Amino acid sequence: MAKFVVILSCLALISAIQGNEAVQYTVTDKAAKTPGGARFARDIGVRYTLQAMNTSTTFIWRIFRQKSAADRKNLQKVSLFIENMDGVAYATGNQIHVSAGYIQFYVASVKNEFTGVLYYGMARVWQWDGNGKAPGGLTQGIADYARLKAGYAPSHWVKPGQGDRWDEGYDVTARFLNYCNGLKSGFVANLNKKMRGGYSNNYFVELLGKTVDQLWVDYKAKYET
Ligand SMILES: *[C@@H]1O[C@H](CO)[C@@H](O)[C@H](O)[C@H]1NC(C)=O
Protein backbone atom coordinates (compact mmCIF):
# COMPACT_ATOMS: atom_id res chain seq x y z
CA MET A 1 0.00 0.00 0.00
CA ALA A 2 2.74 2.47 1.00
CA LYS A 3 4.67 1.55 -2.16
CA PHE A 4 1.57 2.19 -4.23
CA VAL A 5 1.14 5.65 -2.73
CA VAL A 6 4.79 6.48 -3.44
CA ILE A 7 4.39 5.40 -7.06
CA LEU A 8 1.22 7.43 -7.42
CA SER A 9 2.79 10.57 -6.00
CA CYS A 10 5.81 10.10 -8.28
CA LEU A 11 3.46 9.91 -11.25
CA ALA A 12 1.68 13.05 -10.05
CA LEU A 13 5.02 14.82 -9.75
CA ILE A 14 6.11 13.73 -13.24
CA SER A 15 2.88 14.91 -14.78
CA ALA A 16 3.11 18.19 -12.85
CA ILE A 17 6.60 18.76 -14.29
CA GLN A 18 5.46 17.83 -17.77
CA GLY A 19 2.36 19.98 -17.40
CA ASN A 20 4.65 22.84 -16.58
CA GLU A 21 6.72 22.19 -19.71
CA ALA A 22 3.92 21.43 -22.09
CA VAL A 23 3.56 23.64 -25.11
CA GLN A 24 0.79 23.04 -27.59
CA TYR A 25 1.81 22.90 -31.25
CA THR A 26 -0.29 23.30 -34.36
CA VAL A 27 0.54 22.95 -38.06
CA THR A 28 -1.69 24.41 -40.78
CA ASP A 29 -1.00 23.86 -44.47
CA LYS A 30 -2.71 26.92 -45.95
CA ALA A 31 -1.21 26.07 -49.33
CA ALA A 32 -2.42 22.45 -49.43
CA LYS A 33 -3.87 22.91 -52.93
CA THR A 34 -0.59 24.19 -54.39
CA PRO A 35 2.46 22.12 -55.49
CA GLY A 36 4.48 23.40 -52.50
CA GLY A 37 1.78 22.45 -50.03
CA ALA A 38 1.47 19.05 -51.69
CA ARG A 39 5.23 18.50 -51.44
CA PHE A 40 5.04 19.44 -47.76
CA ALA A 41 2.40 16.74 -47.23
CA ARG A 42 4.37 14.17 -49.24
CA ASP A 43 7.98 14.76 -48.14
CA ILE A 44 7.61 16.30 -44.65
CA GLY A 45 4.11 15.98 -43.21
CA VAL A 46 2.18 17.34 -40.24
CA ARG A 47 3.07 14.48 -37.90
CA TYR A 48 6.82 14.91 -38.43
CA THR A 49 6.51 18.69 -38.06
CA LEU A 50 4.64 18.48 -34.74
CA GLN A 51 7.32 16.15 -33.42
CA ALA A 52 10.11 18.43 -34.66
CA MET A 53 8.44 21.46 -33.04
CA ASN A 54 8.56 19.65 -29.71
CA THR A 55 12.16 18.47 -30.15
CA SER A 56 13.40 21.87 -31.35
CA THR A 57 11.73 23.69 -28.46
CA THR A 58 13.45 21.43 -25.94
CA PHE A 59 16.75 21.90 -27.77
CA ILE A 60 16.46 25.70 -27.86
CA TRP A 61 15.62 25.90 -24.14
CA ARG A 62 18.81 23.89 -23.56
CA ILE A 63 20.99 26.04 -25.90
CA PHE A 64 19.66 29.18 -24.16
CA ARG A 65 20.07 27.47 -20.76
CA GLN A 66 16.49 28.31 -19.87
CA LYS A 67 15.99 25.64 -17.25
CA SER A 68 12.70 26.79 -15.75
CA ALA A 69 9.55 28.48 -16.99
CA ALA A 70 10.61 31.71 -15.25
CA ASP A 71 13.62 31.92 -17.63
CA ARG A 72 11.45 31.62 -20.72
CA LYS A 73 8.75 33.47 -22.57
CA ASN A 74 5.34 32.62 -21.27
CA LEU A 75 3.92 30.87 -24.34
CA GLN A 76 1.35 28.07 -24.19
CA LYS A 77 1.18 27.51 -27.91
CA VAL A 78 3.32 27.74 -31.06
CA SER A 79 1.67 27.57 -34.48
CA LEU A 80 3.32 26.87 -37.81
CA PHE A 81 1.80 27.78 -41.17
CA ILE A 82 2.76 26.65 -44.65
CA GLU A 83 1.59 29.42 -46.96
CA ASN A 84 2.09 31.22 -50.23
CA MET A 85 4.49 34.05 -49.51
CA ASP A 86 7.85 35.53 -50.58
CA GLY A 87 11.10 34.56 -48.90
CA VAL A 88 11.79 31.43 -46.86
CA ALA A 89 10.29 31.86 -43.39
CA TYR A 90 9.65 34.35 -40.63
CA ALA A 91 8.42 34.27 -37.07
CA THR A 92 6.19 36.72 -35.29
CA GLY A 93 4.99 36.27 -31.71
CA ASN A 94 4.25 32.58 -31.31
CA GLN A 95 3.82 31.90 -35.04
CA ILE A 96 6.23 30.52 -37.63
CA HIS A 97 5.41 31.01 -41.31
CA VAL A 98 7.15 28.95 -43.99
CA SER A 99 6.93 29.55 -47.73
CA ALA A 100 5.22 26.82 -49.79
CA GLY A 101 7.19 27.94 -52.85
CA TYR A 102 10.46 27.46 -51.00
CA ILE A 103 9.43 23.89 -50.17
CA GLN A 104 8.30 23.29 -53.75
CA PHE A 105 11.56 24.32 -55.39
CA TYR A 106 14.15 23.18 -52.85
CA VAL A 107 16.45 20.84 -54.75
CA ALA A 108 18.24 18.74 -52.09
CA SER A 109 16.61 16.95 -49.13
CA VAL A 110 13.67 19.20 -48.37
CA LYS A 111 12.91 17.49 -45.07
CA ASN A 112 16.37 18.28 -43.74
CA GLU A 113 16.23 21.87 -44.97
CA PHE A 114 12.73 22.35 -43.56
CA THR A 115 13.91 21.06 -40.17
CA GLY A 116 16.76 23.58 -40.22
CA VAL A 117 14.34 26.39 -41.08
CA LEU A 118 12.12 25.19 -38.24
CA TYR A 119 14.99 25.38 -35.72
CA TYR A 120 15.67 28.93 -36.91
CA GLY A 121 12.00 29.87 -36.60
CA MET A 122 11.60 28.19 -33.23
CA ALA A 123 14.67 30.03 -31.90
CA ARG A 124 13.12 33.30 -33.08
CA VAL A 125 9.96 32.44 -31.15
CA TRP A 126 11.85 31.82 -27.86
CA GLN A 127 14.78 34.26 -28.05
CA TRP A 128 14.86 37.71 -26.38
CA ASP A 129 15.37 40.76 -28.58
CA GLY A 130 16.33 43.43 -26.03
CA ASN A 131 12.77 44.74 -26.06
CA GLY A 132 13.15 45.42 -29.77
CA LYS A 133 16.46 47.28 -29.29
CA ALA A 134 18.86 44.49 -30.33
CA PRO A 135 20.32 44.73 -33.86
CA GLY A 136 18.26 42.64 -36.28
CA GLY A 137 21.45 40.99 -37.56
CA LEU A 138 22.26 39.80 -34.05
CA THR A 139 18.86 38.23 -33.35
CA GLN A 140 18.99 36.52 -36.77
CA GLY A 141 22.49 35.31 -35.96
CA ILE A 142 21.46 33.90 -32.59
CA ALA A 143 18.60 31.99 -34.23
CA ASP A 144 20.93 30.62 -36.92
CA TYR A 145 23.43 29.75 -34.18
CA ALA A 146 20.73 27.48 -32.69
CA ARG A 147 20.23 25.94 -36.14
CA LEU A 148 24.00 25.41 -36.47
CA LYS A 149 24.28 23.76 -33.06
CA ALA A 150 21.35 21.48 -33.89
CA GLY A 151 23.36 20.19 -36.86
CA TYR A 152 21.17 21.73 -39.56
CA ALA A 153 23.52 24.29 -41.13
CA PRO A 154 23.04 23.89 -44.90
CA SER A 155 25.98 23.65 -47.30
CA HIS A 156 25.12 27.00 -48.93
CA TRP A 157 26.08 28.88 -45.72
CA VAL A 158 29.26 30.97 -45.54
CA LYS A 159 32.27 29.21 -44.06
CA PRO A 160 33.75 30.20 -40.67
CA GLY A 161 35.65 33.51 -40.97
CA GLN A 162 33.63 34.78 -43.94
CA GLY A 163 31.53 37.94 -43.99
CA ASP A 164 32.07 41.68 -43.65
CA ARG A 165 30.44 42.69 -40.37
CA TRP A 166 29.70 41.01 -37.05
CA ASP A 167 26.04 42.06 -37.28
CA GLU A 168 25.61 41.14 -40.94
CA GLY A 169 23.02 38.61 -39.80
CA TYR A 170 22.04 34.99 -40.41
CA ASP A 171 24.94 32.60 -41.15
CA VAL A 172 27.70 35.26 -40.95
CA THR A 173 26.70 36.29 -37.42
CA ALA A 174 25.94 32.69 -36.42
CA ARG A 175 29.50 31.62 -37.31
CA PHE A 176 30.91 34.61 -35.40
CA LEU A 177 28.80 33.82 -32.32
CA ASN A 178 30.00 30.23 -32.51
CA TYR A 179 33.57 31.56 -32.36
CA CYS A 180 32.64 33.74 -29.35
CA ASN A 181 30.98 30.81 -27.62
CA GLY A 182 34.18 28.84 -28.16
CA LEU A 183 36.01 31.51 -26.12
CA LYS A 184 33.59 31.00 -23.25
CA SER A 185 31.06 28.21 -23.05
CA GLY A 186 27.56 29.53 -22.40
CA PHE A 187 28.30 32.91 -24.00
CA VAL A 188 25.34 32.85 -26.39
CA ALA A 189 22.97 31.72 -23.62
CA ASN A 190 24.19 34.53 -21.36
CA LEU A 191 23.98 37.10 -24.16
CA ASN A 192 20.39 36.07 -24.88
CA LYS A 193 19.60 36.26 -21.16
CA LYS A 194 20.94 39.82 -20.96
CA MET A 195 18.79 40.71 -23.98
CA ARG A 196 15.61 40.06 -22.03
CA GLY A 197 15.25 43.68 -20.92
CA GLY A 198 17.34 45.77 -23.32
CA TYR A 199 20.44 45.79 -25.46
CA SER A 200 23.97 47.22 -25.46
CA ASN A 201 27.07 46.25 -27.48
CA ASN A 202 28.79 46.45 -24.11
CA TYR A 203 27.27 43.03 -23.26
CA PHE A 204 30.17 41.54 -25.28
CA VAL A 205 32.67 43.34 -23.02
CA GLU A 206 30.81 42.24 -19.90
CA LEU A 207 30.80 38.59 -21.02
CA LEU A 208 34.10 38.25 -22.89
CA GLY A 209 36.23 41.21 -21.79
CA LYS A 210 36.58 42.62 -25.31
CA THR A 211 34.53 44.94 -27.50
CA VAL A 212 32.50 43.30 -30.23
CA ASP A 213 34.62 45.12 -32.84
CA GLN A 214 37.82 43.70 -31.35
CA LEU A 215 36.27 40.23 -31.24
CA TRP A 216 35.38 40.56 -34.93
CA VAL A 217 38.99 41.57 -35.77
CA ASP A 218 40.29 38.57 -33.77
CA TYR A 219 37.79 36.28 -35.50
CA LYS A 220 38.76 37.46 -38.98
CA ALA A 221 42.47 37.13 -38.13
CA LYS A 222 41.99 33.55 -36.94
CA TYR A 223 40.72 32.46 -40.37
CA GLU A 224 43.09 34.55 -42.51
CA THR A 225 45.29 32.42 -44.75
C1 LIG B 1 7.34 17.14 -25.84
O2 LIG B 1 6.46 16.04 -25.81
C3 LIG B 1 6.48 15.32 -24.58
C4 LIG B 1 5.62 14.07 -24.76
O5 LIG B 1 4.33 14.41 -25.16
C6 LIG B 1 5.95 16.25 -23.48
O7 LIG B 1 5.96 15.59 -22.25
C8 LIG B 1 6.86 17.48 -23.40
O9 LIG B 1 6.34 18.40 -22.44
C10 LIG B 1 6.97 18.15 -24.76
N11 LIG B 1 7.99 19.19 -24.68
C12 LIG B 1 7.82 20.41 -25.13
C13 LIG B 1 8.94 21.35 -24.95
O14 LIG B 1 6.80 20.79 -25.68
225 residues of the chain, pLDDT tens digit each = 455 445 445 444 444 444 457 899 999 999 999 999 999 999 999 999 999 999 999 999 999 999 999 999 999 999 999 999 999 999 999 999 999 999 999 988 999 999 999 999 999 999 999 999 999 999 999 999 999 999 999 999 999 999 999 999 999 999 999 999 999 999 999 999 999 999 999 999 999 999 999 999 999 999 987
Q: Is the shortest distance between the CB of 57 and ligand 1 below 6 Å?
A: yes
Q: How far is the CA of 106 from the centre of ligand 1 (A)?
A: 30
Contact 127, 143 (CB under 8 A): yes
Q: Is the shortest distance between the CB of 21 and ligand 1 below 6 Å?
A: yes
Nearest ligand 1 atom to the CA of 58 is 13
Nearest protein CA to atom 8 of ligand 1, as residue: 22
pTM to 2 decimal places: 0.90
Q: List every span in the chain annotated with CATH 1.10.390.10.
A: 1-126
How far apart are alpha carbons 161 and 173 in whole angstroms? 10
What's the CATH number of domain 1-126, 3.40.30.10, 3.40.50.720, 3.20.20.410, 1.10.390.10?
1.10.390.10
On the 0-12 / 13-18 / 19+ scale of CB atoms within 10 A, 17 is exposed
Nearest ligand 1 atom to the CA of 53 is 14
**End-to-end alpha-carbon separation of the chain, Å?**
71
Contact 216, 137 (CB under 8 A): no
Q: Is the shortest distance between the CB of 55 and ligand 1 below 6 Å?
A: no
The dihedral over CA atoms of 117, 217, 164, 99, expressed in degrees to the nearest 10, equals 10
How far apart are alpha carbons 119 and 82 in whole angstroms? 15
